[in-house]
Structure 1
Amino acid sequence: MATFQISHTSGQFWYHLRASNGEIIQSGEGYTTKASCQNGIRSVQANCQPQRFESFFNAGQYGFNHVAANGEIIGRSEKYTTAQSRDHGIQVVMQDAPAARVEDLS
């Protein structure tokens, strides 16, 4: 099962979504408060439909942006070497993020 991890560095709160194998598959922006970071996680959990993912290929790497209904990016993927790996990452987010537990490391 995937896990959201909240961390606090450089005065900001961040989340990483880790797959069950421990790999980071998506990260959020820096938030000024823990509450804002937690709201970002809830937005990710609520927006796990296929149309909320924008796939891209840039500089020889594949990735995706996870977007909310308002078009704002709520998460960015790690970089992948193949489109198949990227697409698997999207599937993991859609399947596991809605019920992922939150671990506060801040």
Structure 2
Amino acid sequence: MASTFHLKKAKDGQFHFNLLAGNGEIILSSELYKAKDSALNGIDSVKRNAPREGAFESKAASNDKHYFVLKASNGQVIGQSQMYASASGCRQGIESVRRNAPDAALRDDS
């Protein structure tokens, strides 16, 4: 199975998306968007920025877990990962987004 952006509508009427790896695991999640077009623009931004050098920032949470954010060239966060037990797992997650995002299909369930 190829990677997919899964666009959904939240209970409050806002939109969000997840990038799913080929195995169905969530590898990146978006913020909430008020308009569907804004969420679609967010997906396009992830596709454009994922291969860009310096687009990812690794972080450590207070519980010693690791995660990363993907930033647009203007510095705005456009997606965040799930928590990883190790820094190496976090690095693998970044590489997965870098590889999968540019060609991921869209599944629109909004």
- Structure 2 length normalisation: TM-score? 0.93
- Give the CA RMSD over aligned residues: 0.8
- Runs of 5+ consecutive residues of structure 2 not aligned to the other structure: none
Pairwise CA distance, 1:31: 0.5
Is 1:44 the counterpart of 2:51? The answer is: no
Residue equivalent to 2:60? 57
Q: Which amino acid aligns with 1:11?
A: G
Counterpart AA for 2:60: F
Equivalent position to 2:78, from 74, 81, 84:
74
1:33 is aligned to 2:32? no
Structure 1: distance between partners of 2:29 and 2:87? 19
Amino acid at match of 2:79: G
**How big is the shift at 1:82?**
1.1
What do residues 2-33 of structure 1 show as CA deviations (whole Å, max 9, x unaligned)? 11000001210000001111111110010011
- The letter of the residue matching 2:29 is S
Unaligned runs of 5+ in 1: none
- Aligned-pair CA distance for 1:50: 3.4
Q: How many residues align?
A: 106
- TM norm structure 1: 0.96
Which is strand-richer, 1 or 2?
1
Q: Percent identity?
A: 41
Q: Which runs of 4+ in 1 moved over 3 A?
A: none
